[in-house]
Amino acid sequence: MQTSISRLKNAKRIVIKVGTSTLTYSTGRIHLRRIELLARTLSDLCHEGREIVLVTSGAVGVGMSKIGLSEKPKTTREKQATSAIGQSELMSIYGKLFSEYGCDVAQILLTKDVIENEQRKQNAITTFNTLLEWGIVPIVNENDAISSEEIEFGDNDTLSAMVATLINADLLIILSDIDGLYSADPHKSEDARLIDEIDEVTDELFKIAGSAGTNRGTGGMHTKLIAAKKATEAGINMVITNGQKPSVIYDILEGKQTGTLFKGQIKTTN
């Protein structure tokens, strides 16, 4: 029986999710330095022989910054149009930075019906597998430009867990603006302490997690716990950690205590 830490060290297929608040400054503009470090770290892991999938938010945020909006668009049509502007900008930044480190990327935009329709689901799995076999980093986002309530994931925490499950990943890492899951709201309670490991995502955890996200992102700890539940039930280990320094991903893979580890429920067989 492998320990959770050695399972992380050996993780080959890894999904990394990064949120808007990690990708942008509080000014709303893109955090180039951080994205650059993220691209370097992920390219390096790819060179090491790991299979990397990046689930990225930021389409709406980057689109807002591009056309000079200081507040999130309120109507669906404006949100969709803004995401279409930001998504291409985001991909061009990723494409440029990853290629500087010798790594190619591909874009996959998903809606929830892809998971629900068997044929589309199989197509998506085949595309992911082919790209990974070719050593390319698939960069995934929700297809915000066309998604409406019936076919939307709504948040990229859930999307990242779906993707990890779909491709039978060994590990899901959620890079957030918080260090992990705390025993109470760290903004309100001085006694709040970071929880190192979670064996099971219980209703009790949802109660302590609260729901608020930041201005720029859509998720909060609530959506991360939903993701943790989905991922761990599918046997996938998941870590929530602070994405301020993307090199934290190395720490996780070296088995250092970082953020909160949610242990996969059953042994993954790849």
The span from the first CA to the last CA of the chain, in angstroms, equals 16
155 vs 170, which CB is nearer to ligand GLU?
155
Contact 240, 209 (CB under 8 A): no
- For position 57 contacting ligand GLU by CB under 6 A, the verdict is yes
- For position 142 contacting ligand GLU by CB under 6 A, the verdict is yes
Other C-beta atoms closer than 10 Å to the C-beta of 105 total 22
- For position 58 contacting ligand GLU by CB under 6 A, the verdict is yes
CA dist 90 and 98 (Å) reads 12
- For position 163 contacting ligand GLU by CB under 6 A, the verdict is no
- For position 144 contacting ligand GLU by CB under 6 A, the verdict is yes
CA dist 63 and 72 (Å) reads 10
- For position 220 contacting ligand GLU by CB under 6 A, the verdict is no
> Cβ 2 to ligand GLU, closest distance in Å?
32
- For position 260 contacting ligand GLU by CB under 6 A, the verdict is no
Contact 208, 142 (CB under 8 A): no
Contact 11, 4 (CB under 8 A): no
Q: 236, 44, 69, 62: which is closest to 141 by C-alpha? A: 62
- For position 21 contacting ligand GLU by CB under 6 A, the verdict is no
138 vs 253, which CB is nearer to ligand GLU?
138
- For position 170 contacting ligand GLU by CB under 6 A, the verdict is no
- For position 111 contacting ligand GLU by CB under 6 A, the verdict is no
52 vs 64, which CB is nearer to ligand GLU?
64
Determine the residue type at 59: A
Residues in contact with ligand GLU by the rule CB under 6 A: 19-20, 57-61, 83, 141-142, 144, 155-156, 217-219
